[in-house]
Structure 1
């Protein structure tokens, strides 16, 4: 995905649950980082479900303003039970 730094819009991250598992009520967070390490605790932002996608409003006027550069997008879902699933979800370019 490629967006301009001046844009305020929702970042959409598709999430596919295992068959028979309903994640719609599970807490979910997104991290958008400019480094190659796993996100640090303070880099995670509370996100929301929109169907089978996780969304987070980013850009000017939000809690996550990004400058020009290349970013890695991560998502973490905390379903009921022992698992807390974290995945690298893709890349975001900001121009």
Structure 2
């Protein structure tokens, strides 16, 4: 993922394989090793296909996830009927 300006308001995405796109999805962007319970923010789905869907969240000023300059680790949590997988999605660089 290319660096994103801290002044920018835009969606960030992470493809999740095997989801229907109807499950509850949350995203956390943290500078620590793993997110804690308060780090999770409600997210949504986009680009749903038979193979899976993109988890997405709007970041930037005026959103629930306004990030200062730095490097963050993006995590995605999907809540299904019996499972709740947490997946590392990669770094997000804010400049």
* Aligned-partner Cα distance in 2 for 1:55–1:80: 21
Selected match of 1:39 from 35, 38, 51: 35
Task: Give TM-score scaled by structure 1 length.
Answer: 0.88
Question: What are the ranges of 5 or more consecutive residues in structure 1 without an aligned counterpart?
Answer: none
Post-superposition offset of 1:93: 0.4
Count of aligned pairs = 89
Relative to its length, the structure with more strand (as a share) is 2
C-alpha RMSD of matched pairs (Å): 1.0
Q: How does 1:4-83 map to 2 (within 5 A)?
A: 4-17=5-18, 22-36=19-33, 38-50=34-46, 51=48, 52-81=53-82, 83=83
Runs of 4+ in 1 over 4 A off after TM superposition: none
Task: Give TM-score scaled by structure 2 length.
Answer: 0.88
Question: What are the ranges of 5 or more consecutive residues in structure 2 without an aligned counterpart?
Answer: none
* Aligned-partner Cα distance in 1 for 2:77–2:22: 13
